[in-house]
Amino acid sequence: MTPEASRIPEHNHAREEFTNIRVARDKQGNSRWFTGEKEIINHKVISHFKQHLFRDAKGIYIYQTFRQFAEKGYIKVEGPLLSVFRVDGDVITLDSLDTIPVNEVHVIQNADDEALYVFYPRLQCYAGVGASVAPDFAALIEEKDGQMLLGGKPIEKHSISAWC
């Protein structure tokens, strides 16, 4: 078992539901959360969801508990699930409050919108780089021999066909 896998809680006892929650991408490359056709605009609700995301063989789910009850609510992911929230020296913090060391970050420049996205291995999904952190994120990028690098790794350019 990998160290990362040992940190993932066991949720096999939880009731499973396939929800009508979905995450879409807008024209600027940002994520928008919906329940059915109605957009979820309460940022505290979205923040709570992001901090309780997990993945298993069936997909991405939000894990919730209430007293003795536990539920896994599977969601559809059609855009960046998370966002880079903060850049602190050698660590990137996502808005799920998870962190990734800069030297382990894998960055893609999406050919469809030219935006940069960070791949988050635990959920096997992408996080957008919002305008509020773009200057700090850009400061991590260096050019060497005509290639853009972040943390010593090349920034790849291709279309993202699956967000998770």
pLDDT in tens, 108-154: 999 988 999 999 999 999 999 989 999 999 999 999 998 999 988 99
Half-sphere CA count of 23, side-chain side, radius 13 A? 26
Given a cut of 70, whether residue 50 has pLDDT beyond it is yes
pLDDT at site 158: 94
pLDDT at site 8: 57
DSSP at 131: T
Residues 6+ apart with CB under 8 A from 63: 9, 11, 14, 52, 53, 54, 70, 71, 72, 73
pLDDT at site 3: 47
Average pLDDT of 87-96?
94
Average pLDDT of 93-104?
95
What residues are paired with 56 via a beta bridge?
59
Q: Which residue has the tokens 């960046």?
A: 80
Average pLDDT of 68-72?
88
Handedness of CA 35, 50, 52, 14 (dihedral sign): positive
Residue ranges per domain, the chain? Answer: 3-78, 82-158
- Sheet bearing 38-39, strands edge to edge: 38-39, 31-35, 15-25, 69-78, 59-66, 53-56
Query: What's phi and psi for 48, nearest 5 deg?
Result: -60, -45
pLDDT at site 7: 54
pLDDT at site 36: 95
pTM assigned to the model: 0.86
